Amino acid sequence: MENTKSSPQRAAQLPNSSSSYLGMLGGGQLGRMFVHEAQALGFKVLVLEPEADCPAGQAADQHLQAAYDDPEALAKMAALCASITTEFENVPAASLAWLAQTRFVAPSAACVSIAQNRIEEKQFFSRCALETGIYPAPHAVIASLADLETISDALFPGILKTARMGYDGKGQVRVKNLEELRDAYSNMDGVLCVLEKMLPLAYEISVLVARGANGEAVVYPIAENVHREGVLFTTTVPSPHVSADAANQAQKAALKLIADIGYVGVLCIEFFVLKDGSMVVNEMAPRPHNSGHYTMDACMSSQFAQQVRAMAGLPLGDVRQHSPCVMLNILGDIWFDGSTLRSPAWDKILALPSAHLHLYGKAEPRPGRKMGHISFVASSMEQAQADLRSACKILGIALRSES
């Protein structure tokens, strides 16, 4: 664990009783896990989410079913809640800014805005790279058809990404040449895009950091991720491949980035480690992150507890990892045998000695939909990996993976 201190930000308003409300914009599974941690510390939670039967709303003390920019709902949230956060980056930054006029909001609208736009995000990474030494991948902004004619051949093969609203592999197309780029850009209806050069990736790591309003910051151990079709498949912690020097560089870079923008709360930053051992910074998520779910069972303080602490002006928790862990994402695919809906064999999963099962309360399983996760926490990484393999066999999940 590393700690840093920087110039203090405006102190969070500490809720004055155990009945005080914290506010959450967003009703997904990240919000649900936040609610559980907030309630464990004696707080109540108000969730603002337009979907009726949402994971966070099921657990929250109150659920306001309204749009994220609904004036009446935002006014009620501001009146009731001591401080307010969000569980995903695509909430309107304007709503966060409005709430911040009268309530402590973490992360701020300015911080969320950077993560909402890949162009601003890469510009931010590039500015900080002079100190961190880690740059984003070579890229070019595409705002019009005319920009296509200025693209360097050095950026191929590449990935065309929409500047906004892309996550879990959505809004992305791989292109090998200018002709494929023209077709892909045309299919994206001319929205603002970024073409990013594909690099020789060895593996991906993510660095989870938390920062309080007083400038205190902590960084978790390095997590190594494997994806399938753009969606996180497994996270292994400690990373089995990252060197001590690379881990130290990535953690220091994450602490620099979070301090540079005066961020408060939990932030996840993804890095690519290339085959030559160098690193590039990929993207950041201004919230708890899928790759940080292992902290719920394998660390002294979970990422969700840290978010609660940061919002309430409480001291940040200990980020020590007490046991090796592998986290497996559970998608809706395993509920289906062909076209037949079935119930997964959770009894067999729970018979595995290291398995910690977390289901998100989503009523309708769909292929590709995140329904839960399993953390395998064991005395050795070998045991955790063995139980992962057993679980995949039980659930019918092939172990072959792609990064």
172 is in an annotated binding site: yes
118 is in an annotated binding site: yes
Closest by CA to 186, choosing from 154, 230, 144, 141, is 144
230 is in an annotated binding site: no
168 is in an annotated binding site: yes
318 is in an annotated binding site: no
161 is in an annotated binding site: yes
- DSSP, collapsed to helix, strand or coil, labels residue 342 as coil
Strand 279-285, strand 231-237: pairing: unpaired
36 is in an annotated binding site: no
Q: How far is CA 83 from CA 26, 30, 42, 44, 308, in A?
A: 15, 17, 15, 11, 10
282 is in an annotated binding site: yes
The answer to whether the CB of 342 falls within 8 A of the CB of 365 is no
199 is in an annotated binding site: yes
- Note every long-range contact of 298-304, with CB atoms under 8 Å and residues 24 or more positions apart, other chains counting: 298/237, 298/322, 298/323, 298/324, 298/325, 298/375, 298/377, 299/220, 302/33, 302/37, 303/208, 303/210, 303/220, 303/266, 304/30, 304/33, 304/34, 304/36, 304/37, 304/266
Q: Angle at which helices 118-132 and 244-260 pack, to 10 degrees? A: 120
The answer to whether the CB of 126 falls within 8 A of the CB of 171 is no
167 is in an annotated binding site: yes
Q: Report how far residue 164's alpha carbon sits from residue 148's, in angstroms, rounded to the nearest whole number.
A: 19
289 is in an annotated binding site: no
The answer to whether the CB of 2 falls within 8 A of the CB of 257 is no
44 is in an annotated binding site: no
Closest by CA to 233, choosing from 395, 362, 36, is 395
Going by the annotation, the residues of the binding site are 118, 161, 166-172, 196-199, 204, 227, 282-283
Detail the residues annotated as belonging to a binding site for ATP: 118, 161, 166-172, 196-199, 204, 227, 282-283
